[in-house]
Each structure stands twice: as structure tokens, then as C-alpha cells.
Structure 1
């Protein structure tokens, strides 16, 4: 899929499907499926053959990763500034006490949806959208929230839902 993703359409669709995705999350939690990780990983591989993040970047446009200290130190070094100066310039603490960006879209999102600090990006960005992690059962709440942000996660959840609608 090489064309840009229609984020307005995605936003409407993901919101309208959220109640059924929430029910699916509960079914998945109750099922304690032994092959849930395997199924997520398989669908992750298939979906990212079709979806190119550079055609979307909705995560970079609408949300902030959590910045851990090693991320802050690495990016501060990249910008030749002190970690405290990087925090003062770009970050604040959220309700849970985590460092997050001051604003969206991400200030490091460049032209053509390219990350200006890709090689030094935060760990949370490197791992996003987390659909290829171990113990998917343990991060179902996060995955459900990500169905509202990431078209790939939305598609993966839809495909997994087919297994439970049979």
C-alpha cells in the first residue's frame, strides 16, 4: 500500500469500531489463548508488508512516546545540549510522572513523514506499535488504545477478531 492513508476516514472508523474492539479485548483476556503472541506476530508481519508508516505517521502527529532517561541523554547529545536543556525545550511530565513531548505533532517529524532523529529516536518509538512483543495478553489495554492511533494495529485487531467471530 503505497498511497497515503486517509487519516480522517481511519479516525472515524476506529472510533466507531472501538466498542466492539473493547469487547474483543475482553474476549482475548478471558480466552488466555496460548497462541495469542504468535497470532499477533504473524499479523504484524503481514500487515506491515501492506502498510508503510511513512504513508501515515499518525502516531507522530497525535501522540507522544514516553521518554526514558537514556532517550533524553541520547537525544540531548544529538542536539549538543545538556539533558536538562533538552527536557526544558521539548518535554514535560504527564499525569503519571513520565516525560512526554510538550506538543503534537512531534517536533522531530520532518517532511514526507520522516523522523529527523530516526537513528536516535526514543525506545517507545522503536518498539511502536508493540504488536510484535511477547506477552500480548499483558498489553491488551495499550493495544486497544493503539487501535485509535495506528491503522496497522486497527487492521491487526480486526483480523484477530475474525478468529473470535467464527
Structure 2
């Protein structure tokens, strides 16, 4: 696949359907993790126009900023803190319609209004990262559409993460 997306859908559901096979092809052509995470974030931001799209990688007891697209971001997030740390600890996708209403929300940017965070697992099922997407619009993500689609998308990444035996 050339490094160009071909999308015709105007609604979000159609864009998810059209992007998936293109992203799968793009990821299959590169064996290294970091370039794939970078292109993954870029493809989502380009397709949907989200305010911020990126990854936080699990390193010991915290999340470390990984490849992203958008404004400068928080570099480290402690386990269980904010939306990202909570999604990691609870190992579940979190859809936050209004970040101001989320207890302990970490405001990396005051322009962020809503957020979705999806755990990323390695091939053994262990959470190794989270995909964090912020919108500058309130209530921009749904549990019915965005959550299952993004969960399907991040499964493409599982084989790219090295299996680790640390806890």
C-alpha cells in the first residue's frame, strides 16, 4: 500500500470500515513497532480529524508517551491516574463524554473536551499500551460505535509487541 489513504465515506461508521483494511495492509508491510504506532496514530487523526491521537506504553509502573499526533502531551502517567491510567488498570475501554466530569482527569491540554482510551494487548493478552484519543468536542465518542471499532483496530497491533515476562 502506498502511504496514502483512500476514503470516500462521510459518516464515521463508513470511514471506520474503509480505513481498517488499509491500516491492516500498512501495518503488515513494516515489522517494527514504533513506525507502526506512528502511522496508526496518523491514520486515525487524518481520517477522523481528532484533536489528539497517540499511545502511552506500559513501562514498569507507569505509562510513557509513545508515538502521537497532536499538541504536546503529558510524558508520564502513573498507574491508575487519569483516564489512561484507569483504562490500563481496569483493562477496559473508557469513553468519557466530558473530561471535566472524570474524577482525576489529567489535563494535558485545556482544549480536550471528550476522550476514549483503549487498552492494547500483546499476543499473550497482557496490556502493553493504551490508545488515547481526545476530541475538542463534547461527547464525541460512543460505546456503541467507536469503542468496538477501535478495539478491533488495536488488535492489529498485538503481534507487534514483544512478549515480556516482567510484571
Which structure carries more strand by proportion? 2
State the structure with bigger RCO (CA 8 A, min sep 6), 1 or 2: 1
Does the alignment reach a TM-score above 0.5?
Answer: no
Which has a greater percent of helix?
1
TM-score under structure 1 length normalisation? 0.27
Q: Which has the higher Rg, Structure 1 or Structure 2?
A: 1
